[in-house]
Amino acid sequence: MDADRFGQNQNLQGLDVLAFEHAPIGIVLTEDRIIRACNRAFAEMFGFERDELIDQSFRMLYPSNKEFEAIREVGFEALRETGRYADERVMPRRDGTLFWCRVRVTTFFPDEPLKRVILTFADISETRPDIALTLRERQIVNGLAQGKTSKEIGRDLDISPRTVEEHRARLLAKFEVRNVAGLVARLTGYQG
């Protein structure tokens, strides 16, 4: 490699690091759900210092083991089939407050989707209302926001479709809306 190309390569690597460090969204690299690298935006979004997250299980960002395990299954097949997955979900910050985020996931190894993954997290709570939801309500809302049926949500959460429908009915009453579209619009801030 000649000196000019070597210099350009060095400069590009510096720009890559600069872009990673100062990206306006959270970026995290995981291996088997262990955080190996993350940028400042990701750590700040969740209320941590970056050093507190490195080499820790992603579990620390979920309020319970059950929710941590449930989210594993949500995009697993999509990662296996296409290498990519995306959703919007409610996540807790370190202090327990909830926020909406848009998550995008890319795997390096579709045959082993969680072996090495890059995720981006965009805090979209400015366009979403403040909400107080239980763990189960968050799970149901996340499923509804993804357009899943009661049967699909029930299967994901290992509960009956009837239980999902009961939760959905309580959510409709709680947020004073008439249907799922109204509920998702109320919770996401999207007015179509």
Tell me the β-bridge partners of 86: 104
Which amino acid, 61?
L
Q: Which helix (H) or strand (E) holds 161?
A: helix 161-174
The domain spans of the chain are 1-128, 129-192
pLDDT tens-digit readout, 39-55: 999 999 999 999 999 99
State pLDDT tens for residues 67-110. 788 777 778 888 999 999 988 887 888 987 778 889 999 999 99
CB 119 within 8 A of CB 105: yes
Query: Average pLDDT over the chain, rounded to whole?
Result: 84
**Tokens 């690091």 -> residue:** 17
Query: 129-192 belongs to which CATH class?
Result: mainly alpha
What's the CATH superfamily of 1-128?
A: PAS domain (3.30.450.20)
Higher pLDDT, 11 or 78: 78
